[in-house]
Structure 1
């Protein structure tokens, strides 16, 4: 799109803010607007997303959380403009020229996430029936996974000549099985601890947590953007996907990711039941089981090399997750022992 066309396309939207654009730079769904009133970011979102997230952003502002890039109202008080079947909202442009190392950025991101969760936390009532239904459904799913794991290895071992994928699966089976059993045991422990409780803690979750959605201003302060998926939910829903992506690497002891989690816990400590659920979900070897299931279901000819590579990568993810869960458990145990030792006899 030419410069003049870009200007023409955003002008009707910006009229709602009494802003006259001079120049527009295209960044996909975000346009950088140079105007008579300064530099802005204009973001396009599909109308089916709606503007619920703006309510969450306002609620956080009211509670004193100001590390969200502000959304400007139009002259008549609306926070989004509907134009040609899309919604648009306007924000200040963040320079994001932060020169500090990535580690410092991540620490700041997790600290601000913990503050966001702290300020928006509220207790909701969960009926015992709902809790039991959730427990039974999840256990049923875990048992189906177990059934597949065991059935597939039986099938592989009956063969005189296994394929490279089947051979590798047999090699990994014990560790996948251990991870699944550990995850199930933590989930059962969670249910035992909470089945008599009718309360659960909810927070406003960002919904799409990523280092790309945490920008820095010229003073070095970090701000969240991309709040369209914000909703009330468990704080685990923000932590897990972020960690899972960070652990999607070659095998390594990712102490950095461990530091992030404990940095977050310093400002927003998980309750006992939340820790059990977090460990259960983090240990769950869903990615590697998905590869095994898609291999099993795929009609011949199968791209053996592609599947073997996928299985290997998911196995690394499994081992990286296992390291985090085990270290977290060790550290928790050490902290509990230290507390018990410090108590007067």
Structure 2
């Protein structure tokens, strides 16, 4: 699309804001607009997304959390414009000129996430029946996973000549099972600890946490963008996917990731039950089980090399996650012992 056409295509939308575009740069779903009122970001979202997230953004602003890129209202007070079957909303353009190392950025991101969770936290009532139902469903699911792993190894071991994938699976089977058992044990511990409580802590979660969704303004302050998936939920729903993605590397002792989590805990400490749930979900070897299941279900000739590569990668992810979970449970146990020791002395 030519520069002129781009200006013409966004002009009717910007008209609602009394903004007159001079020049528009295309960044995919975001357009950078140079105009008579400054530089803006115009973002396109599917109408199915809806504008519920704007309520959450406003609620956070009311509670004093202003590290979200503001969404501007139109002249008649709406926060999104429906145009040719898409919704659009307008924000200031962030320069994002921060040249700091990634680690500093992550620490700042986690501190701001902790503030966001702290300011939006509320207690909700969860009936014992709901909790028990969630527990039973999850346990059933975990047992199904274990049955599949056991069934598949039996099948592999019956072969006179195993394929490379089957051979590698037999090698990894014990560790996958171990991770699944650990996850189940933590989940059972969570249920034991909470089955008689009728309260749970909910926060506004960002829903798509990523360092790419944390931008800096020209004064060097960091702001969250991309809030379309924001909703009330457990705080672990923001932390887990981010952490899991950062563990998608070759085998490594990722102490940096542990530092991020404890930096976040400094500002928003998890309660005992939240920690148990966090460990349970982080240890759950879902990615590697998905690879095994897709190999098992694949009809016809299988690309062994591709499947072996995927299994290897997800095994690394499993080992990286295992290190983080084990190290964190070790740190927690040391802290508990130190606390108990101090109490006994006093």
Shorter-chain-normalised TM-score: which range? Answer: over 0.9
| 1:251-305 deviations in Å (ceiling 9; x for gaps) | 0001111111110001000000000000000000011011111111111210000
Gaps of 5+ in 2: none
Matches within 5 A, 1:100-139: 100-139=100-139
2:53 maps to which residue?
53
| 1:151-200 deviations in Å (ceiling 9; x for gaps) | 11111111111000000000001100100000000000000000001000
Rounded Cα–Cα distance in structure 2 between residues aligned with 1:47 and 1:135 = 35
Gaps of 5+ in 1: none
Rounded Cα–Cα distance in structure 2 between residues aligned with 1:289 and 1:88 = 39
Matches within 5 A, 1:326-341: 326-341=326-341
Rounded Cα–Cα distance in structure 2 between residues aligned with 1:82 and 1:164 = 53
Secondary structure at the residue paired with 2:39? strand
1:86 maps to which residue?
86
Rounded Cα–Cα distance in structure 2 between residues aligned with 1:47 and 1:290 = 32
2:28 maps to which residue?
28
2:325 maps to which residue?
325
2:224 maps to which residue?
224
1:270 maps to which residue?
270
RMSD: 0.6
| 1:211-237 deviations in Å (ceiling 9; x for gaps) | 000000111110000000000000111
Secondary structure at the residue paired with 2:78? coil
> Is residue 294 of structure 1 aligned with residue 305 of structure 2?
no
2:212 maps to which residue?
212
**TM-score (structure 2 length as normaliser):** 0.99
| 1:107-166 deviations in Å (ceiling 9; x for gaps) | 000000000000000000000000000000000000000000111111111111100000
Rounded Cα–Cα distance in structure 1 between residues aligned with 2:298 and 2:76 = 56
2:311 maps to which residue?
311
TM-superposed CA distance for 1:97, in Å, is 0.6
Rounded Cα–Cα distance in structure 2 between residues aligned with 1:300 and 1:292 = 16
TM-superposed CA distance for 1:342, in Å, is 1.9
2:172 maps to which residue?
172
Rounded Cα–Cα distance in structure 2 between residues aligned with 1:275 and 1:56 = 25
1:202 maps to which residue?
202
